[in-house]
Structure 1
């Protein structure tokens, strides 16, 4: 009997042609020729081990995949959220911006995913400067994800709890572990005025989040890590299908929260401030328009803006989280210092010293 979780695709007891053929059959592409062979190409990946599985056929027909993508995660860093992302949360829904999943297994905080391989058609966006078309496409895709898991009833039907005070406290407490180390690091060659903004956010923002929690039920299942590496767009530069991958929250992450938090994470943390200033309102308008088109009710444009503003200040928490561990604080200084600068710039642009 094969393992429920693949740990070594080179082990024929875990991964072979019979297994691949069965996965293709379940995925609806197994009516044509059966694969006659496969090879494994190891890929670079963070927090996982990944392979491109190249398939060979005799008399292959159009529609048969030439390759698949195999992702292995072990070591207990993450729970089963990513497995549910591909197999449960959006099951049976059309137009969902995530790759097709042929198989998944989860056991004891280890898992595997066998996904469609988009390598030839799509790329991540690490080296791509955001454009209006890209920003709006990402906004529509996120609106689709959020609309399908929006509100307490839908979250409960999927087995999720709506965010509560306990979860907010845990989330803020984790970020606060890095606050004092962040202030200490600021003294080492970083604009000292950043400490004023960070101190203000860590003093007032948790209460503002609690106030938003008490204000209503317009919460969604969020991705939580909309960085450029987790957004796949067509290699030809078109505005075709866009995909969000790698939903891997930590145990202390907010899995349900305000939808615009995914947009603030995408734009404030990762876009240069000039680009963010130029595009953010149009991106947010497209997001709100798309939510309405996808059936979300009673979520106003004014609420969209206020939720974006509130969640953008969580970017200070992200910068601080890199400072909890002394090694990460030193080795990732190039990243968290840039994220801190962008968070401070947003704080000033939106007048957050006055109100949230």
Structure 2
């Protein structure tokens, strides 16, 4: 692949010559003659751009692709190196194992430090990115949850997956315990949560350590940040899941709890969450998961509502502050705090 020292961190560096060399080492015999770029998406950790390509000998390469790359200062990129490695690893090594709908990936590269990377992904064209602040409809949430079964079911309790990506250990808990309370205070200073939202942050700090290392009956690869902002909706309502930066192994209902508690209005969640969890469970069973009842699925959903405040507190610290980002994290915590208050007796 191109010299890792030269991996672009600015869209202007995605020149025709660089792209030609990049595509060549990823198996594409194509010459890029010119490229025009435009920003897309609202990513908090990396930049995404649509590339309009004028190319020759590229029969399998479309005229537009999405480039995702590490942007920001060196300190910000160093902070994000772990999630950059995750996303490259997912598209490069893991994606063929799953049936969850994702964009096609044409090329990947990442530096040894993980602070520079580039992905060239399928341009989904007419698809529209979800809006986390506005939220989504119950029907959209159900479609996402059913699609997520295509991530969870194929390697459900797969020992090779768990050997390659072990579940959290006591050492992981110690690390989290050492930084969670300080990060929660940073969140408080920035957002001034009140009422149930403030109580949810207290609950997170109090309960997260035990939850992280609790023994699991079932585990799978999880997205880790499954919410409507990370989904593209096609013209017929079809969903495509994007932003695979936070993959890990764990209870798969972490994804569903995070999705429903942050992406639905409180009223819609209260009316529809049991039905959506049931649809997700049916999709798991259809995909081959056995010996897992709907009651167990619901209990796992409730037991993993802590995923939302955990990702919100950590994510707000990792992301570059923006007006939209601030509004997004505030809305997400308010919705998830209501779910915790509703479903976790005595939790808050």
Q: Does 1:6 align with 2:7?
A: yes
Corresponding residue number in structure 1 for 2:154 = 148
Q: Distance in 1 between matches of 2:315 and 2:87?
A: 22
**Higher helix proportion (structure 1 or 2):** 2
**Given that residues 200 and 340 in structure 2 are in contact (C-alpha distance below 8 angstroms), is that contact kept between their aligned partners in structure 1?**
yes
The alpha carbon displacement at 1:289 in A equals: 1.1
The alpha carbon displacement at 1:271 in A equals: 2.3
Q: Does 1:162 align with 2:173?
A: no
The alpha carbon displacement at 1:146 in A equals: 1.4
Corresponding residue number in structure 2 for 1:343 = 336
Corresponding residue number in structure 2 for 1:245 = 242
Which of 281, 286, 302 is equivalent to 2:295?
Answer: 302
Q: Does 1:78 align with 2:81?
A: yes
Superposition RMSD in Å: 3.5
The alpha carbon displacement at 1:86 in A equals: 0.7
Is the alpha carbon distance of 1:22 and 1:338 closer, same or farther for their aligned partners in structure 2, counting shifts above 3 Å? Answer: closer
Which of 98, 103, 111 is equivalent to 2:102?
Answer: 98
The alpha carbon displacement at 1:340 in A equals: 2.9
Corresponding residue number in structure 2 for 1:53 = 51
Is the alpha carbon distance of 1:90 and 1:323 closer, same or farther for their aligned partners in structure 2, counting shifts above 3 Å? Answer: closer
Q: Distance in 1 between matches of 2:323 and 2:65?
A: 37
Corresponding residue number in structure 1 for 2:144 = 138
Is the alpha carbon distance of 1:319 and 1:37 closer, same or farther for their aligned partners in structure 2, counting shifts above 3 Å? Answer: closer
1:67-86 C-alpha deviation (Å, 9 max, x unpaired): 12222226231231101111
The alpha carbon displacement at 1:321 in A equals: 3.5
Q: Distance in 1 between matches of 2:146 and 2:274?
A: 14
Please state whether the residue corresponding to 2:108 is helix, strand or coil. Answer: strand
The alpha carbon displacement at 1:221 in A equals: 1.4
The alpha carbon displacement at 1:274 in A equals: 1.2
TM-score (structure 2 length as normaliser): 0.79
**Given that residues 220 and 250 in structure 2 are in contact (C-alpha distance below 8 angstroms), is that contact kept between their aligned partners in structure 1?**
yes
1:322-337 to structure 2, matched below 5 A, reads 333-337=326-330
Is the alpha carbon distance of 1:142 and 1:274 closer, same or farther for their aligned partners in structure 2, counting shifts above 3 Å? Answer: same
Corresponding residue number in structure 1 for 2:63 = 66
Question: Looking at CA atoms only, which structure, 1 or 2, has the larger radius of gyration?
Answer: 1
Q: Does 1:230 align with 2:230?
A: yes
1:108-139 C-alpha deviation (Å, 9 max, x unpaired): 21211111111x23121117752343222211
Corresponding residue number in structure 2 for 1:122 = 127
1:153-232 to structure 2, matched below 5 A, reads 153-156=159-162, 159-181=164-186, 191-192=194-195, 194-210=197-213, 213-214=214-215, 216-232=216-232
Q: Distance in 2 between matches of 1:255 and 1:11?
A: 35
The alpha carbon displacement at 1:230 in A equals: 1.3
The alpha carbon displacement at 1:57 in A equals: 6.1
Corresponding residue number in structure 1 for 2:309 = 316
1:182-225 C-alpha deviation (Å, 9 max, x unpaired): 56678x6x544554454344324533444xx22x3411111111
**Given that residues 70 and 115 in structure 1 are in contact (C-alpha distance below 8 angstroms), is that contact kept between their aligned partners in structure 2?**
yes
TM-score (structure 1 length as normaliser): 0.78
Is the alpha carbon distance of 1:168 and 1:152 closer, same or farther for their aligned partners in structure 2, counting shifts above 3 Å? Answer: farther
Corresponding residue number in structure 1 for 2:35 = 39
1:283-294 to structure 2, matched below 5 A, reads 283-294=276-287
Is the alpha carbon distance of 1:194 and 1:69 closer, same or farther for their aligned partners in structure 2, counting shifts above 3 Å? Answer: closer
Please state whether the residue corresponding to 1:178 is helix, strand or coil. Answer: helix
Where structure 1 has 5 or more consecutive residues not aligned to the other structure, the ranges are: none
1:279-314 C-alpha deviation (Å, 9 max, x unpaired): 222221111111111122233222221221122123
